[in-house]
């Protein structure tokens, strides 16, 4: 039997919430709040790396693969910025929602129900997104190895995830799920969180070299997410394929 990265329990969990992907006040409200900071980081990194100067469509001709795309919360704004976007997700319900929403907004995005190890696609990508996904897969090494196959040499892989610290358990699970109820209880399993050091080692084995790491924290005063030097809970990374 071929090795797989799909965690059926995790897929079932998010499939049940699929209808709420585009409701900014629903179960994915925290992700809607989180989206602007990660989108801005991705956009600025791509523009700098590929020396893009088109102000109206700054990501024109950039091919992006969003792995674990959910309902398309990143795919759609990236498409509007001019990128050629492909989104894959192991949940059929997520892909169905993503297709319906992109069609309704007249956006040309290709969506497929797949995980990296069973995705068949001939062309390679300039950018790959693995955002808030590695903490939900069964085998991070296999997942990133299979993901890396689709990335061009010199291309960027963005990975956003949660650090495995006491602070992340307090804030991301006890705080976000049980106290503030920002997320449904059981959304995250602390045992599946990964430290930056572990992530760097796994990526290195798969021809990915760390280019930058930033923490992401919630600004209570302004009720927005922002990048930070503190990566104890949420963090964003940028890797380059060698």
Give the domain ranges of the chain. Answer: 8-163+194-241
Task: Convert the pLDDT of each residue in 143-178 to its tens digit.
Answer: 999 999 999 999 999 999 999 999 999 999 999 989
pTM, entire model? 0.93
CA angle 79, 234, 86 (to 5 degrees): 20
Compute the mean pLDDT over every residue in the chain, rounded to the nearest whole number.
95
Q: Which superfamily does 8-163+194-241 belong to?
A: Vaccinia Virus protein VP39 (3.40.50.150)
- In the block, tokens 């290709």 appear at 110
- Is the pLDDT reported for residue 1 higher than 80? no
At 2 the pLDDT is 52
Task: Convert the pLDDT of each residue in 89-137 to its tens digit.
Answer: 999 999 999 999 999 999 999 999 999 999 999 999 999 999 999 999 9
What whole-number distance in Å separates Cα of residue 96 and Cα of residue 230?
37
Nearest by Cα to 205 from 117, 146, 162:
146
Q: At what angle do helices 92-104 and 8-15 cross, to 10 degrees?
A: 40
């Amino acid at each position: 039997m071929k090795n797989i990265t799909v965690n059926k329990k995790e897929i079932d969990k998010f499939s049940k919430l699929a209808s709420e992907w585009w409701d900014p006040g629903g179960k994915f409200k925290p992700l809607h709040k989180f989206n602007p900071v990660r989108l801005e980081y991705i956009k600025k990194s791509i523009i700098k790396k590929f020396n893009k100067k088109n102000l109206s469509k700054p990501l024109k001709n950039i091919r992006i693969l969003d792995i674990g795309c959910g309902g398309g919360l990143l795919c759609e704004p990236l498409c509007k910025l001019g990128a050629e976007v492909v989104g894959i997700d192991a949940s059929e319900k997520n892909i169905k929602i993503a297709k319906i929403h992109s069609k309704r907004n007249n956006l040309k995005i290709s969506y497929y129900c797949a995980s990296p190890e069973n995705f068949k696609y001939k062309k390679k990508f300039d950018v790959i997104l693995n955002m808030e996904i590695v903490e939900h897969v069964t085998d991070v090494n296999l997942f990133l190895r299979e993901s890396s196959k689709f990335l061009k040499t010199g291309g960027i892989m963005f990975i956003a995830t949660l650090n495995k610290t006491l602070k992340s358990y307090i804030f991301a699970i006890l705080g976000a799920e049980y106290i503030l109820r920002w997320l449904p209880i059981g959304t995250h399993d602390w045992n599946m969180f990964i430290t930056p050091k572990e992530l760097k080692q796994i990526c290195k084995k798969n021809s990915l070299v760390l280019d930058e790491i930033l923490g992401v924290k919630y600004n209570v005063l302004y009720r927005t997410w922002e990048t930070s030097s503190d990566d104890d809970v949420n963090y964003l990374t940028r890797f380059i394929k060698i």
